[in-house]
Structure 1
């Protein structure tokens, strides 16, 4: 019977965890876009994806938030294991993952005419709607901080990429947080989400490849 050395076993676990960092973005963006393009009354240029948690099919987006959040949490553990000196980066990515899970449990309020039949405008604000916004804000700021913290432990090119990705996402978040529902701000945030999930995937792949082989 062959015994697998502890280091190899640990690296296998770390690689498995980092793999979820690659899957999280395509899962969240793919499921969200599929709904945004097919659900009645949803306007991709006007409605934030959080509104998809409402209506008879709202459970799809709620599940999307939770599953994606769990994937990000797994990737966060992988980052912390792969970069011992950068554990804070892993913790901050973990906060982002936890915020996605919370955002799934704390449904956003119907608004801006979605779901169909909802009055146009900001709509009624509930306690869970406020909590959804708070959870999202904490998570978004945490992943921005994670990108900057992790940059300190990467090569020059990847460090620059991390800082730019974090900054782009921060600007996109600031735009939509201003309350302006103009198409440029809404689509800008969609682009920002794609940028930060792409960053998570790139970092996860990079760390995966840096781990010693078997």
Structure 2
């Protein structure tokens, strides 16, 4: 493949991270705002996959997952070798695969949505519902781990201390608010709000990381570890 075509492909793959990161948030914000009897403070984003119009969030999961896998492939072409380069892109790829799984494996009706569904965390789950929860765990665990790995990478690069701190903070926020959401749902609290903080922190970080890679294609080469 000619160099110019390869460069265009790489930039397109890297841009997928920004499209997926910001686009995912916009879709669930709009869908949650216009869905009748949906409470974004309490009910999870995945509940938007249920009921009338559920196909929108299902598509959002799957398309965003594909975009994140594309971003991971692009980062393989766009990142210089060094600390965390391989692990970081593998984690982002796994994050994308988890999103695809969360879209294909729709959650069970629960948390009071759709209207008439049992309130709170379901006491019994279908196999599909269990697999959805496993996919969700992969999503948040891999995203938090990716932010931590990139934080360590940035910490070794001159002039990247702010990005290192931002990445470490993102890793903490994604994990902490994911756990807080689960605890809140067990107690009937605002789990939806906490989950949205976790999602917003992580997906925005991915979007900004994508933009950073597009703007700085020739980062300093570091020793591989």
For residues 97-136 of structure 1, what are the structure 2 equivalents within 5 Å? Answer: 97-123=96-122, 124-136=124-136
**In the alignment, is the contact (CA less than 8 A) between 1:80 and 1:91 conserved in 2?**
no
Asked whether the 8 Å contact 1:99–1:136 carries over to 2, the reply is: yes
The DSSP-based 3-state class of the residue aligned with 2:206 is helix
RMSD: 1.7
TM-score, with length taken from structure 1: 0.90
Q: Residues of 1 paired with 2:215 and 2:23: CA distance? A: 22
Provide the residue aligned with 1:87 in structure 2.
86
Structure 1 stretch displaced more, 24-33 or 89-98: 24-33
User: What residue ranges of structure 2 are gaps of 5+ in the alignment?
Assistant: 155-159, 219-225
Q: After TM superposition, where is structure 1 displaced by more than 6 Å over at least 4 residues in a row?
A: none
Aligned to 1:48: 44
Which ranges of structure 1 fall in alignment gaps of 5 or more residues?
none
The answer for the alignment partner of 1:39 in structure 2 is: 35
What secondary structure, in the 3-state scheme, does the structure 1 residue paired with 2:51 have? coil
Does structure 1 residue 159 correspond to structure 2 residue 174? no
What CA deviation, in whole Å up to 9, does each residue of 1:59-118 have, x standing for no partner? 111111101111111111122222233121011000000000000110101112211122
Give the structure, 1 or 2, with the largest relative contact order (CA under 8 Å, sep 6 or more).
2
Deviations 1:146-178 (A, max 9, x none): 111112322211111111111111101111233
Q: SS state of the match for residue 110, structure 2?
A: coil
Separation in 1 of the partners of 2:86 and 2:118?
Answer: 46
* Superposition TM-score, scaled by structure 2 size: 0.86
Shift of 1:5: 5.2
Shift of 1:208: 0.9
